Amino acid sequence: MLTAARATTASFASNASKASRCPLRKNRAAGTGRRLCRRWRYDRGVTDFELAHRYDTVNLYRRGTAAKLELNRPDRMNAWNAQLARDLLDALTSVREDPGVRAVLLTGAGRAFSSGADLKESQSLDEAGPPDLYSVLTQRYHPLIFGVREMPKPVVAAVNGAAAGIGLSLALACDLVVAAESAYFLLAFVNIGLVPDGGSSLLVPTRVGFARAAEMAMLGERIAAGQALEWGMINRVWPDGEFAARAEELLIRLADGPTRAHAGIKRQLNNWLYQRMGEQLEFEAKIQQEMGASGDFAEGVRAFTEKRPPRFTGA
């Protein structure tokens, strides 16, 4: 459990505060200042969130009653390894239990939200034998998905780039999903001989229906942000240059809203749509364990690490 520290240095906080002062405020009397200030913030990427805690792979930022969690393995496109799972669970637990936090945003550092599981952890597959995917899912990933869905506060996924595999599952577990125009969504599991997991076998069809869920799961193709919006998978798409500021603006709106009502709305949706989520995640994990012992999965991982197309045989 973390004890949140405020800004790392006084100069950081001072600079952030100064940067957030819009030079166009004096024009508001003419009715144009608010719009111009907003544009100024988008263009400059200004933020007055402060770093509250830095984990090995996650950054926790705070601004008043709003919290922003940033997956921070940009060199690996925020691929999930054991450390990231631990850090993210600790951060989610912290903001859940903090009465001063009333809304949460999840995003990624660099050019991706999350590219999915870090397959480098599977490179020793041939030597060590089939991986224990059941334990990985139930112990590492499921607590995170439940943590987002059961948090009594709204959670926004701000998808700034690729959201693939378990990264897509995490995004769709959130209450609202917004994306940059350049972002995309990918149920990548089939491309390495696996099945959707992390709740995506439930979260995807809940949002887009059976036909589109089957297409995403079986073809493993990228879904661009605009198409995801058209399908009803996500809530908003914004230009890349405005994305970060608009996502933060939405977060602040939720944080300033009726927190108890937001929690009640989540309970209603969970009761109607996700009452059997635990059962489905358990079912996913058992099937994924079967797939982890398949020849196609071994080939899928080798092909990925060797940067070549897989040659599946159905084994």
| Percent of the chain residues past pLDDT 90, beyond the cut | 79
pLDDT at 288 over 50: yes
User: Residue 58's beta-bridge partner residues?
Assistant: 71
* 3, pLDDT greater than 80: no
310: left (phi over 0), alpha (psi -120 to 50) or beta: beta
Report yes or no: 300 and 310 within 8 Å, Cβ to Cβ: yes
Model pLDDT, residue 123: 56
pTM of the model: 0.83
Cα–Cα distance measured from residue 51 to residue 61, given in angstroms and rounded to the nearest whole number? 4
Residue 7: the pLDDT is 35
**For 173-205, how does the pLDDT look when each residue is reduced to its tens digit (9 = 90+)?**
999 999 999 999 999 999 999 999 999 999 999
Q: How far apart are CA 214 and CA 200, in angstroms?
A: 11
What are 23-74's pLDDT values in tens digits?
Answer: 334 443 444 444 434 443 334 344 689 999 999 999 999 999 999 999 999 9
Query: d(Cα 133, Cα 130) in Å, to the nearest integer?
Result: 8
